[in-house]
Structure 1
Amino acid sequence: MDVSEIIIAGDTPGIEWRLPVFRFKGRTAAAPKTYIQAALHANELPGTALAHFLLQRLQQAEKDGAILGDITVVPQANPIGTAQSHFGELQGRFDLGSRTNFNRDFPLITLGDRDRLIDDLDRYSATDRLKRQLLHMALGADLMLDLHCDDEALQYAYIDDAFWPEAGDLASALDMEAVFLSDGESSAFEEAVAYAWKYETGQKKTRLPGRLSVTVELRGTRDVYPELARKDAVGVFRFLVARGVITGDEETIAPFAGIIAPLDNIEMIRAPEAGAILFHRDIGESVKAGDLLATILTRPGQADGALEVRAPQDGLIVTRVSTRLARRRSDLMKIACAAPSSAGRKPGSLEA
């Protein structure tokens, strides 16, 4: 195992960030190359815990001569966000300097322009230098796993339909309960990787066999426990064995049996007004159209001070916010459904 650091100079004097990178050299040139990163949103730590236990397994596999394809792991991909605390609360989702989501605005390039990402880096801000170096590493791989988590959530993933159903092996290996099929229309990290592959030859490819770029949502922000992290690390290791990155006893991965929903079929449940949130339903529950999901206390104690929020159609509650105070139109839940939402959706990500 080779351990190195990428040093990112700050935008003000006396500041720099260090990004540890773990690399394992494969012994077979034809084997798939893998890139795994965690905590691009710095306050989402289940992936960092997974990476910790996965690295232990990879070190043993290296000693056993079992690593066939190159593997790169970045357990904490955002040291800039990790340093951002506001009144004691870690602010790891948005860059406080630019107000940009750390998982948006990645360069959309063709694979042939990969090396241009790190040309003349000094002309970019620290955050953009971080993004460019992460994307440069990922584009050297065939398989890319970007490990995130939601607020309160089941285990699920965003997977571009160019990789489906082949990516069902990862969904099954990680015991995911849902897969959201994305449209590749945002500038998030996993979609920037897929974009480069799709336009590798100039003309857009709609299928990318043998490759995978995925955002894995490892439950919720508070689901950082050793037993869960070990289980998830075993799942990723099984996936790597199945894909021929690591040699080992090939355990058959069962077909994915969870919910599969295009992003158009995700009901984004939002608060009609500001107020205290009283949830009536939890993640993992199936609901019917018209079921009461939450009550918003807009004017506590007054006769008209409570608003009901009901399910627009049948579906599975995949996520729920952990806060109990809603702003007007703030997100409350994501419900995966069999039919498209009547609310409509612009191409791209579900959330900012």
Structure 2
Amino acid sequence: MDVSEIIIAGDTPGIEWRLPVFRFKGTKPGAPQAYIQAALHANELPGTALLHFLLEKLRQAESEGGILGDITVVPQANPIGAAQSHFGELQGRFDLGTRTNFNRDFPLIALGERPSLVENIDRHSAVDRLKRHLLSMALGAELVLDLHCDDEGLQYAYVDETFWPEASDLAAALDMQAVFLSDGESSAFEEAVAHAWKHESAGERRTSLPGRLSVTVELRGTGDVYPEMALKDAEGLYRFLAGRGVVASDRQPLPTFGGVVAPLDNVEMIRAPEAGAILFHHDVGEHVKEGDLLATIIARPGMADGAIEIRSPQDGLIVTRVSTRFARRHSDLMKIACAEASRAARKPGTLEA
């Protein structure tokens, strides 16, 4: 195992960030190469815990000659975000300097333009340099996993339609309960990787990418950082790598994925019509019917008409809900995966900012 650091100079004097990178060299020519990162949103730590245990397993495999394909692991992909707190609370999702989501605005390039990501890189801001380094490393692999988590949620993933159903092995390995099929219309990290693969050269757009995978994995909620969970997830991810031929293993074949599969258009984003305290009537993992009471917003406490009921627009599975118990007007409350498309208008791209 090789451990190195990418040093990112700050945009003001006297500041720099260090990005640790762990690399394993494969022993089998032609074996798939993997790139795995966690905590791009710096306050989402289940993936960091998972990779801590996965690295232990990879070191053991390396000692036994079991690393077949090159593997690159970045367990804390955002040292800039990890240093940004506001009134003692780690922010993590948005850069305080630009107000930009750390998982947006990745360069959308053709794969042949990969060298340009790090050419004259010092002319870019620190955050853009971080994004360019991460994307450049990922584009050297065939399997790219970006580990995130939700506020409160099930184990699920965002998978570009191009990679489904081949990616069902990952869903099964990590015991996911849902998969959202994305439309590839954003500048998030995993979609920037897929964009480069689809546009391997200028003017080209591939619609099939066999053997490749770029995916955002949502490892439950921000508070689900426990040793037992992290170890179980690390074992699942190792089984996925074994199944794809990246590491050697004598484990049994993976089970068939039996969770919910929903295109993004079939995901109901439940939002608050007014500000107020949130009273949830259903938890993540529950199936609801059209018309079921999902939440009550206490918009005007003590008033006879002060409570607002929010009901399910259709049948579905509650995949996520927010951890806060105060809503601003139109803030997100839940995601519900449904069998039919939502009647609410949705722009192409990600579900949330």
CA offset at residue 250 of structure 1?
4.1
Query: Residue in 2 aligned with 1:310?
Result: 311
- State the AA in 2 paired with 1:330: S
Query: Residue in 1 aligned with 2:187?
Result: 187
Cα distance per residue 1:38-65 (max 9 Å; x no partner): 0000000000000000000000000000
Does 2:44 align with 1:67? no
How far, CA to CA, are the matches of 1:251 and 1:110 in structure 2?
38
Equivalent positions of 1:16-55 (< 5 A) are 16-55=16-55
How far, CA to CA, are the matches of 1:227 and 1:206 in structure 2?
39
Does 2:83 align with 1:91? no
Query: Residue in 2 aligned with 1:6?
Result: 6
- State the AA in 1 paired with 2:147: L
Cα distance per residue 1:274-308 (max 9 Å; x no partner): 00000001000000000000000000000110100
How far, CA to CA, are the matches of 2:235 and 2:155 in structure 1?
15
How far, CA to CA, are the matches of 1:176 and 1:207 in structure 2?
24
CA offset at residue 248 of structure 1?
1.5
How far, CA to CA, are the matches of 1:177 and 1:341 in structure 2?
20
Cα distance per residue 1:106-163 (max 9 Å; x no partner): 0000000001000101110000000000000000000000000000000000000100
Query: Residue in 2 aligned with 1:255?
Result: 256
Q: Secondary structure at the match of 1:268?
A: strand
Across the two proteins, how many residue pairs are aligned to each other? 352
Query: Residue in 1 aligned with 2:131?
Result: 131
Note if contact 1:238-1:251 (Cα within 8 Å) is conserved in structure 2: no
Q: Secondary structure at the match of 1:55?
A: helix
Note if contact 1:242-1:251 (Cα within 8 Å) is conserved in structure 2: no
Instruction: Give ranges in structure 2 of 5+ residues lacking alignment.
Output: none
CA offset at residue 207 of structure 1?
1.6
How far, CA to CA, are the matches of 1:96 and 1:251 in structure 2?
46
Deviates more, 1:203-212 or 1:104-113: 203-212
Q: Secondary structure at the match of 2:317?
A: strand
Query: Residue in 2 aligned with 1:210?
Result: 211
How far, CA to CA, are the matches of 2:190 and 2:273 in structure 1?
32
How far, CA to CA, are the matches of 2:29 and 2:74 in structure 1?
22
Query: Residue in 1 aligned with 2:143?
Result: 143
Does 2:342 align with 1:341? yes
Cα distance per residue 1:212-254 (max 9 Å; x no partner): 0000000000000000000000000000000000111142111
Q: Secondary structure at the match of 1:68?
A: coil
RMSD: 0.5
Q: Secondary structure at the match of 1:213?
A: strand
Cα distance per residue 1:187-225 (max 9 Å; x no partner): 000000000000114321112110000000000000000
Give percent identity, aligned residues only: 77
Q: Secondary structure at the match of 2:352?
A: coil
- State the AA in 1 paired with 2:71: I
Query: Residue in 2 aligned with 1:154?
Result: 154
| Moved segments of 4+, more than 6 Å | none
Instruction: Give ranges in structure 1 of 5+ residues lacking alignment.
Output: none
Query: Residue in 2 aligned with 1:177?
Result: 177
CA offset at residue 344 of structure 1?
2.1
How far, CA to CA, are the matches of 1:168 and 1:249 in structure 2?
20
Q: Secondary structure at the match of 2:250?
A: coil
Note if contact 1:66-1:247 (Cα within 8 Å) is conserved in structure 2: yes
**How high is the TM-score relative to the length of structure 1?**
0.99
